[in-house]
Structure 1
Amino acid sequence: MSKFKKKKGGEVPAVNTASLPDIVFMLLFFFMVVTVLRDNNLLVKNELPKADQVEKLQKDRSVYIYAGKPSERYKDKYGTEGRIQIGDKYTDVSQVGSALEEARRKLLPELQDKVMVALKVDGETNTGLVSDIKQELRELNMLKIIYITTPGNETDN
């Protein structure tokens, strides 16, 4: 008989899973911290026109006004005429002032005097609606207006 015994099969030892819950919770917290939630639910169709000279906007001091026809999901309820959206609800032209004041109050106090109005207007929206919005903004003395576009060649519109 031999003094030494052969090992039975080259079995791999079991993987240690003691640190697995720590890794899972670390990933969970990471994704919870870096995930950005959507601010507004877009109610209007918003295919922005193209422009070749665009700049990045400082989002901390801007209030967005969306203008366009109601999206496919809301056409039955609101019709097909151009509408104005501020925040998560439709606004009439006569109520733009109060809606903008409410949105302005949500900004930081030091930025409320330096607010910029960003117009995200659909490419097929009537210019009369945009003119009405601009007239209301003049009456509110909110004269800094930015038109949001997508990068591209303006002749492709």
Structure 2
Amino acid sequence: MKISKNQDVSNSIPTGSMADIIFLLLIFFMVTTIFKMEEGLPITLPRAESGSELERERLIHIWADRFNRISINDKLISVESINPIVASRLKENFSLIVAFNIDQRTKYQLVSDVMDQLKDANAVNVTFVSVGEE
């Protein structure tokens, strides 16, 4: 019996099941991977224990929402307009109280920008409005 030494050896990689293997690896890593969301510091906002009503002449409301919109007394404004508006109201009534209502999902950069504008306007009575007791 004669053994032939000239056998053709194929150098190709079988790719028929390659898609199945890749799909299974993809599912494996999707199932076993843990996605960690960075959310900043865990804080608990204060709850109001008691409160009193203020006269409307002494109070100005600033609202900031999570879409970076700011309003003063129900009028939409930009961050740069806070300083002149609050400064003119402070000239009328120096004991003006600024009530700052912030959505809990508002970015801190917006809060910082608003506080800088209030500081530039010399607003010293700034109150952060908290959630009422349930």
Same fold (TM over 0.5): yes
TM-score (norm 2): 0.56
1:46-80, Cα deviation, whole Å (9 max, x unpaired): xxx661434224133111101103xxxxxxxxxxx
| Aligned residues of 1:54 and 1:149 also touching (Cα < 8 A) | no
Query: Of 83, 95, 111, which aligns to 2:69?
Result: 83
What amino acid is aligned across from residue 113 of structure 2 in structure 1?
Answer: D
Identity percentage of aligned residues: 22
Larger gyration radius, structure 1 or structure 2:
2
| Aligned residues of 1:50 and 1:152 also touching (Cα < 8 A) | no
Q: What is aligned with 2:34? A: none
Q: What is aligned with 1:92? A: 78
What amino acid is aligned across from residue 126 of structure 1 in structure 2?
Answer: K
CA distance in 1 between partners of 2:100 and 2:76 (Å): 15
| Number of equivalences | 89
CA distance in 2 between partners of 1:148 and 1:59 (Å): 16
More helix by share: 1
Q: What is aligned with 2:60? A: 63
CA distance in 2 between partners of 1:124 and 1:144 (Å): 24
> What secondary structure, in the 3-state scheme, does the structure 2 residue paired with 1:51 have?
coil
Q: What is aligned with 2:21? A: none
CA distance in 2 between partners of 1:116 and 1:142 (Å): 8
What amino acid is aligned across from residue 63 of structure 1 in structure 2?
Answer: I
| Aligned residues of 2:97 and 2:126 also touching (Cα < 8 A) | yes
RMSD of the TM alignment (CA)? Answer: 2.5
Point out 4+ residue stretches in structure 1 off by more than 4 angstroms: none
CA distance in 1 between partners of 2:47 and 2:69 (Å): 23
| Aligned residues of 1:50 and 1:151 also touching (Cα < 8 A) | no
Query: Of 45, 48, 53, which aligns to 2:49?
Result: 53
1:1-157 matches, within 5 Å, as: 51-60=47-56, 61-69=58-66, 81-101=67-87, 104=89, 112-152=93-133
TM-score (norm 1): 0.49
CA distance in 2 between partners of 1:132 and 1:152 (Å): 29
What are structure 1's unaligned runs of at least 5 residues?
1-48, 70-80
CA distance in 1 between partners of 2:75 and 2:52 (Å): 26
> What secondary structure, in the 3-state scheme, does the structure 2 residue paired with 1:64 have?
strand
What are structure 2's unaligned runs of at least 5 residues?
1-44
